[in-house]
Amino acid sequence: MKKNIKVLVIMSLILVIGFISTGCGDNRPVINVYNWGDYIDPSVIKDFQKEFNVKVNYNTFATNEDMYVSIKKGGTSYDVAFPSDYMIERMIEENMLEKINKDNVPNISNIEDRFLYLDFDPNNDYSVPYMWGTVGIIYNKEMVDDKVDSWDILWNEKYKGQILMLDSQRDSIAVALKKLGYSMNSRDTNELEQAKEELIKQKPLVYAYVGDEVKDIMVGEEAALAVVWSGDAVAMIRENENLEYVIPKEGTNLWFDNMIIPKTSKNKEIAEQFINFMQRPEIAARNTDYVGYSTPNYKAMELLPEDIVNSKVAYPTEEEMGDVEIFKDPKDFLKVYDDIWLEIKAQR
Ligand code: N2P
């Protein structure tokens, strides 16, 4: 009898432990979503989980390069990720992406045509637009008394220790290339060498190379000038009206972040449902309102407040954007870009 009780106790213990370790009997399917930091309204994830009875395991990254390495290594089997244009081009080339069944993503019809069929994914076989924007300079009008209309200002000794650069290799090298009047897709060793020298020369003036922290630093007026993505500028200007965003006259980068399904996905159907959900007008509008970035979804635009829709920072006309370039995958030049970045980061 005593022995029986012992067996019973042990068996129930095993059951309880099993229950706890599988998440309290949670046997919902799981999808692993990999997005940029500060790039979604968290309530959207909750709503998706509830409506589709799935669990979203949500992770974030800070740069396309970080995202690429994690997906390539394959530690986590991601189901949805949000790379930019040039990285999508590379992932398609390296056969890392699943084809998306558009019948399962009918909300792609809410996307404005100018965000579809772009060179990096000509038929949108592999990606569905999420957000877009430009790169520019945000500055504090109380702290900067020079005219801000050129990348040059980021090399002005007067602002030593008050300049923030993006901790992103493509973006920072692009700034230096544009300052020099070159293409940000340069494949010319001599031009790239000059860009590297510019960034090395600038380094003593730079307070820090930053990611999402840029918002707290600029809103808190701890720096005067920063290179930023337009959506972050929108979010910062909302918090501090001394801040202004400018697209320099030498031209800038126009970028697109799209949703993709990596080959590692074990739940392609739910991944497609998630992508489709993200482009429901009311969901896209909620994300846009929350993060400050620009939506390609014209039906979401109809739901957004006037101040967002009319924002020149978020929705510049072609003329206001000026001379823009879209990043291309550097292909055989990737190592040159990587090496430049390593050398700049190593400088003191
Ligand atoms: C959001 C990052 C936006 C990504 N924190 C720009 N491509």
Q: Whose CA is nearest to atom 2 of ligand 1?
A: 36
* Ligand 1 centroid distance, CA of 210 (Å): 12
* Ligand 1 centroid distance, CA of 36 (Å): 6
* Residue ranges lining ligand 1, Cβ < 6 Å: 36-39, 84, 212, 229, 255, 257
* Ligand 1 centroid distance, CA of 295 (Å): 13
Q: Render pLDDT for 45-80 as a digit per residue (tens, 0 to 9).
A: 999 999 999 999 999 999 999 999 999 999 999 999
Give, for ligand 1, the residue of 115, 232, 236, 288 to mutate: max count of ligand atoms closer than 8 Å to Cβ. Answer: 232
Mean pLDDT of all residues in 259-283: 98
Q: Which pLDDT value is given to residue 85?
A: 99
Least confident interval from 3-17, 27-41, 298-312, 321-335: 3-17
Give, for ligand 1, the residue of 41, 229, 254, 291 to mutate: max count of ligand atoms closer than 8 Å to Cβ. Answer: 229
Between the alpha carbon of residue 93 and those of residues 145, 308, 331, the distances in Å are: 47, 36, 10
* Ligand 1 centroid distance, CA of 19 (Å): 38
Domain range 30-132+256-317, CATH architecture: 3-Layer(aba) Sandwich (3.40)
Give CATH 3.40.190.10 domain extents, the chain: 30-132+256-317, 133-254+322-346
Residues 133-254+322-346: name the CATH superfamily.
Answer: Periplasmic binding protein-like II (3.40.190.10)
Q: Render pLDDT for 105-155 as a digit per residue (tens, 0 to 9).
A: 999 999 999 999 999 999 999 999 999 999 999 999 999 999 999 999 999
Residue 2 has pLDDT above 70, yes or no: no
The ligand 1 atom nearest the CA atom of 37: 5
Q: Whose CA is nearest to atom 3 of ligand 1?
A: 36
State the pLDDT confidence band at 165, using cuts at 50, 70 and 90. very high
Mean pLDDT of the chain: 95
Q: Whose CA is nearest to atom 6 of ligand 1?
A: 229
How many angstroms separate the CA atoms of 189 and 203, rounded? 21
Q: Whose CA is nearest to atom 4 of ligand 1?
A: 36
How many angstroms separate the CA atoms of 348 and 345, rounded? 8
* Ligand 1 centroid distance, CA of 7 (Å): 56
Q: Render pLDDT for 215-259 as a digit per residue (tens, 0 to 9).
A: 999 999 999 999 999 999 999 999 999 999 999 999 999 999 999
Give, for ligand 1, the residue of 84, 216, 293, 327 to mutate: max count of ligand atoms closer than 8 Å to Cβ. Answer: 293
Q: Which pLDDT value is given to residue 348?
A: 80
* Ligand 1 centroid distance, CA of 62 (Å): 8
Tokens linked to 301: 């635009």
Residue 326 has pLDDT above 80, yes or no: yes
